[in-house]
Amino acid sequence: MGASKKDFFTDEQNEYAILFRALAHPARVAIVEYLMGVGSCICGDIVSELPLAQPTVSQHLKELKNAGLIRGNIDGNSICYCLEENSFEKLQSYISAISVKLQNKKQICC
């Protein structure tokens, strides 16, 4: 018991769950907001910005990267991170479709 039943859901449902899960922590929300403000930066900048140790930040960056929300380019001995536009557009159209449908329907709940 307790094992994930993700195999019983569609690939699309799992993909969106992975994207949302990547944003399901205030530290990762903060990283995204910071990257949105500065455009791009190295890991050390984020470590200075957040109240978290370097390995913890590194792990959060890894999760954002695995989910496809950020990209990291090697730049000398540091790594430059930035937001991945396509993934945010994908999320945007998904949420937007729900939002628009709800506005059009103006449904009453029971």
Site residue total, DNA (CB under 7 A): 32
Task: Provide, rounded to whole angstroms, the least separation between the CB of residue 2 and DNA.
Answer: 2
By CB under 8 A, the residues from 50 to 69 that bind a copy of itself are 50-52
All residues at 6 or more sequence positions from 66 whose CB lies less than 8 Å from its CB, including other chains: 22
Closest CA relative to residue 52, chosen from 34, 39, 73: 34
Binding range to DNA, per CB under 7 A, among 2-10, 32-40, 86-94, 97-105: 2-10
Which residue among 48, 54, 62, 101 contacts a copy of itself (CB under 8 A)?
A: 101
Give the residue with the Cβ less far from a copy of itself, 6 or 62.
6
104 sits near a copy of itself (criterion: CB under 8 A): no
Cα 110 off chain centre by: 34
The letter for the amino acid at 98 is I
Calpha distance 65→31 (Å, rounded):
12
